[in-house]
Structure 1
Amino acid sequence: MRLSSPDTLQLITAATRAPSGHNSQPWYFEINANEIAIFPDPARALPAVDGNRRELFISLGCAAENLCLQASALHYAAQTEISGDGSIRIQLQKSDSIIPSPLSAYIEQRQTNRSTYNHKIIPEDILCAILEEWAGNEIKIHLFKKDDSAFKLLTEAVTQGNEAQMNDSAFKAELLSWVRFNKKPAESTGDGLSYAALGAPSLPRWISEPIVKSMLNDKSQNKSDLKKIASSSHLALITSPADDVFSWISTGRALQRFLLSLTRAGIASAYLNQPCEVAEIRGKLREKLFHATREYPQLLLRIGYAKPLPRAGRRPLREVMKSEYGMAY
């Protein structure tokens, strides 16, 4: 049975709502009779910050999880296969017995909220209910409160990561290339870090770019990040037992479910991935926090309560969809 066009559009739309580094959206989708395949788009890789494409494949895992969750809402059984090249093939079969996942309703609402939070502490029972879903999962989610020694260790790792990245000209040039300084480029590209998602006003580039450049230094970044960490409730560190493409995609799938569970509970989240992006810092974290279990740190987030921000843009479906006959739409 072939996928219907309306269902295909809904499935791909849901997949593209996944997060990605710098909102680069490094994927494209191929549609066959009853299968949707997700492929990495090398043209949208981030070589300076993500040289081995670890975060790219995590993003693909997030997209795949969104697609599978939306499939359940449309009463499709989804069977996923990961190929050696990191592509993900999802076989879909219509079935009235499929029960929609409650997380599918929050795909459109989820966002990365980079604002300062309101300092309110998330009740333990809410966090415990969210973490119960991970019992037996090889991808681990570790939560740290402000009085945990690991919270201080991770905070220090963020500042060290900023010092490394903000003194890397290639990193800063790549970051700037993905900033959309005002409404016109944000709407025309549908990707990147928009002024609105960053909480900034829409100003002409000649005004806003020098301001942004002046803030791209470790002192300014650390001041901002420390304030945001202090306003948050917990830090969340996601780990995997291995460090390969399969593990990265699995991390992405678990991450997306975690993000949607947070969204359902009204909890905001934002990334602090510097410690996982700088190899030396990541290695030290692994040794200090996971000497016994040998887990690999993959992603660091802060979570808490905050007012929603404008949503980040997404590219038109015609730019990311292909079929066996060429571009699908």
Structure 2
Amino acid sequence: MVGTQPQPVTIAFDVMGTDHGPAEVVRGAAMLSLESPHIHTLLVGDRTLIDDALAETKHNGERISVQHAADFIGMDEKPGEALARKPNASVAVAARLVAEGEAQALVSAGNTGAGVLACARHFQLIPGVRRAALATVYPTRSVRGAKGDPFSLILDVGATVEATADDLVTFAVMGSAYARIISQNERPKVALLSNGIEPQKGPPRVVEAHARLSEMKDIHFIGNVEGIDIPKGTADVIVTDGFVGNVCLKMLEGVHDTVVELAQYAYKESLRWRAGLAMLSSGIQRIKDITDWNQYGGAPILGFDKIFIKAHGRSKSWAIANAGKVAAKVVSNNLGAAIREGLKK
């Protein structure tokens, strides 16, 4: 409703373990404290490093608090072993604070596996959810006006390696609920990733999930899609298991990196290519803007009773702030209730 003030929300930020160090996370929280009066940030990490960063950053001290955590988990550490050795690592402390009600959501740009495992140890699965799903947002060539933004969601991309038909149906419900809230898409198109568009294509779990989703009136299920449909934006939510989803995610990242490298090579090797790229510069910038993960901040772990937004490890302050805004939006719109309602139906 126009004029309605967002409800106050506290977001716990795992400050440690990112590629750019704690200062970038602190700066992102400082931005939120100045721009988003309804968001209170709880910074979890080395208090000395956090205080030093805050001293150098303009912020509203009334909207920021600090919880000391002496340890952190690095990007190259094995999650299970690291959490066992460091039970008071920043991501574990932050997850515990959220579970205890000190904050309503967790944002981390650190070790993904450690974040998921910390949540699994401190959060509860929503009734009806057997396995949580790591979702990721990816750019498509869909027209922005058609669904509110140029992004779509794919899940799972790594949390549940082997998914049953039950899991796939649950992922569809959770992904649809998230797309409605974040993309403001009242009726997101949901599809199963398979090796053909026919209902009988794919392994038995995909065929069974297809039959069940086809009967669900509250899910806008459009059937199967193939890998070629992912960047086209054929579906707003694409459902698969964690193994296939992770392969797709790495492929999409690889294609982007390859295109960038080819453009750089062409620019260096040929004056003609250099002139052509110059003429296309505005279009290239538009593509960069659309595919820039800084805009959407992070990706959700869906299925827990609390919210976890995983920001990119290379996130700087702007991306961190956007991840916080996404987390606050999910909390304000009560994603958990939307998922529970969808599973009941």
TM-score under structure 1 normalisation?
A: 0.25
Largest Rg, 1 or 2 = 2
Greater relative contact order: 1 or 2 (C-alpha under 8 angstroms, separation 6 or more)? Answer: 1
